[in-house]
């Protein structure tokens, strides 16, 4: 991982458990390896190497950030995969958003869509907002949904069972992340 990406992770994870930082680094390393493999399979990789002979994934500083999730001060680290792979761009994104990883209490949850945010409801409970493609939601009328229609799904972190409470299977726990 390049120094710039490591710096952004460190800034986003100040006062956050080391496990989240390690998991975020591991997730970004997966994308780095995928980027290198994609370039090597399609073209001459030396064209995209930096002076040190490395192919560098560009990590946007706003792509790794922290969200407030719980009434007990639970924090989540979000890794939003709008990373740039030389000559290929943001290959982990599409018209419906990007791959997203949400790290909470050492667990990694996956989502595809826009950048998650959190808000508080009237009782002070944190609600995770998960932007999705318009066809992922239903409207109150009889007309079909449009891709460009705004659609926000929600999830609430349960501090007791250390899992998200959701309505639907749009947020899933990832395994095999080290």
Q: How many CB atoms lie within 10 A of CB 84?
A: 15
Give the span between the Cα atoms of 165 and 104, in whole angstroms: 13
Tens digits of per-residue pLDDT, 93-111? 988 899 999 999 889 999 9
Answer for the pair 156, 125: CB distance below 8 angstroms, yes or no: yes
Question: What is the predicted pLDDT for the residue at 18?
Answer: 64
Q: How far apart are CA 81 and CA 5, in angstroms?
A: 12
In the chain, what percentage of residues exceed pLDDT 90? 33
Torsion of CA 132, 137, 143, 146, to 10 degrees: 10
The tens digit of pLDDT for each residue in 3-23 reads 334 333 333 333 345 677 789
């Amino acid at each position: 991982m390049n120094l710039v990406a490591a710096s952004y992770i460190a800034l986003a994870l100040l006062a956050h458990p080391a496990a989240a930082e390690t998991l975020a680094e591991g997730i970004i390393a997966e994308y780095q390896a995928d980027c290198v493999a994609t370039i090597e399979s399609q073209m001459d990789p030396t064209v995209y190497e930096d002076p040190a002979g490395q192919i560098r994934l560009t990590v946007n500083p706003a792509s790794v950030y922290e969200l407030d999730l719980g009434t007990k001060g639970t924090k989540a680290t979000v890794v939003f995969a709008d990373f740039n792979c030389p000559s290929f761009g943001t290959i982990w994104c599409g018209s419906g958003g990007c791959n997203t990883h949400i790290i909470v209490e050492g667990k990694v949850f996956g989502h595809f869509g826009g950048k998650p945010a959190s808000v508080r409801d009237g009782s002070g409970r944190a609600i995770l907002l998960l932007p999705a493609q318009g066809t992922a939601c239903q409207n109150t009328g009889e007309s079909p949904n449009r891709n460009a229609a705004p659609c926000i799904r929600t999830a609430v972190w349960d501090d007791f069972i250390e899992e998200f409470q959701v309505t639907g299977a749009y947020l899933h726990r990832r395994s095999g992340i080290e």
